[in-house]
Amino acid sequence: MAKDQTRNWQRLTLLSLFLGYVGYYICRSNLAVATPLLLKEGFTKVEMGTVASVGVMLYAIGKIINGYLGDFLGGKLLFLTGMICSIIFTILFGLVSGLTLFVIIWAFNRFFQSMGWVALVKTASRWFPVERHATVMAILSLSFLFGDAFARIYLGGLISLGESYSTFGFLANWRTIFFVAALTLSLIALFVYKTLKSSPNEVGIPEPSANPINVFGEEGNHAEKISIKEVLKPLMASPLFWLICIMNFSLTLVRETFNFWTPTFLNEVAQINIGGAAMGSMLFPLVGGCSTYLAGITSDRLRGRHGRVVLPSLILLVISLILLATIDVSGKPVLALTLLSLVAFFLMAPYSFLSGVMAIDLGGKRGCSTVAGLVDSAGYLGAILSGHTVGWIAQEYGWKMAFGGLAGICCTAIVAGTVYWLIQEREMNLAALTAESKPEAPDA
């Protein structure tokens, strides 16, 4: 009976976290979906790229601050706070006009949105056992992948409806898209408030143990509040932590580029209409979600040896980017979507590991939120280039040059992934030998 109760609460927690983060993405992907409409109103790619890049900068800063707040305040409080603030700033964005106000309000929205993932990681670390971490975090990663896809279908479908029927013309308006996104997140936030618990202890269920190879050792099993110095000291000494940050710098730049610019690329190059391009762009997170789930299951079967999944994926990602940079897809929507899907498949598996299961492995219950925040902040510092810089390259030199540059940057991730694989394999082999050499406890 106790096992059934635990499973039921774990399923409800998984559902609540999943839907909650889908809601975050509805108030995040809305700008990418609405950008072609804003371009039609006279804004340039560079201007919209600036809005996106400043938002990413605040998101990166927020990850650092809110990562530690997640470990200090707990998961549920931070998760709901980020939702409520995102709702407020999404509404404000829909009410104002002008580039300056767009930049400021979107930056605030992204800062508070940075609370979501770190709070999710903190909550998941206390609810699920080590042997299921990769699969659970893969499922939760689907929330931002399928959530992104859903947001693009949902909001893009509304735009298409407005473009097709004059009665619903108001839907083909970027302001309407922002108001609908805010209303949707409000409904999801209410569900999360009613269902989510920060810890199994709140419902009389014991917490599972943390990964024994976390940087805090036995103390990683405890979620008590500690100083930032006590959290950071063992992390800064871990080579795996720095390698994960390096990989995330490159991969987040690639992911954010495709998240933001795919609808515009499909509209301009593949020559798909604006609503269709928004819906077509959902294929990227959808395919990426499938690869993420497969990678999570595979990693758990490999007993957490993540490098065996990450490194081959990185090599194939670079090859896919080179193909996208060299093959002409002008007026060829099927070919364009096929190549984008290849990039998504080999990008999202390693990306989802970095601030998910790897963060829980390194930080345990004590510091996983901080790890996730720092790793993500390193990634989003790189992703600052995804808006203004990529927009400028695409405008001045074309999309092929932009994609070729991304392939070159990802070569650094291959180097870091190789070193990560070697170090993690060595540490896990040593841990296994140590466990085998321990004498068995005498019979009572």
Instruction: Give 353-378 pLDDT, tens digit per residue.
Output: 877 778 877 777 777 778 888 888 88
Closest by CA to 71, choosing from 6, 39, 115, is 115
Q: Structural domains in the chain?
A: 10-432 (1.20.1250.20)
Residue 33 pLDDT greater than 50, yes or no: yes
Q: What is the 3-state secondary structure (H, E, C) of 168-214?
A: HHHHHCHHHHHHHHHHHHHHHHHHHHHHCCCCHHHHCCCCCCCCCCC
Q: Is residue 438's pLDDT more than 70? A: no
Task: List pLDDT tens digits, range 75-110.
Answer: 888 999 999 999 999 999 999 888 889 999 999 999
> Both tokens of residue 163?
């473009």
Q: What is the pLDDT of residues 260-291, one digit of tens each?
A: 788 888 888 877 877 778 777 778 878 888 88
pLDDT over 50 at 443, yes or no: no
Name the DSSP class of 170: G
Question: Tell me: the pLDDT tens digits for 193-232?
Answer: 999 998 888 888 888 777 667 777 666 666 666 677 777 7
Looking at residue 299, what is its pLDDT? 83
In the predicted structure, residue 343 carries a pLDDT above the cut 80: yes
Query: DSSP assignment, residue 201?
Result: G
Q: What is the tens place of the pLDDT at every residue in 104-149?
A: 999 999 999 999 988 998 888 888 887 788 888 888 988 887 787 7
Confidence label for 436 from pLDDT (cuts 50, 70 and 90): low
Q: Which has the closest alpha carbon to 123: 371, 358, 376, 368? A: 368
Q: Please state, in angstroms and rounded to a whole number, the distance separating the CA atoms of residues 421 and 347.
A: 17
List the single range of 69-73, 409-413, 416-420 with lowest mean pLDDT. Answer: 69-73
Six-digit token string for 395 = 């405008």
Longest dimension (CA), the chain: 81
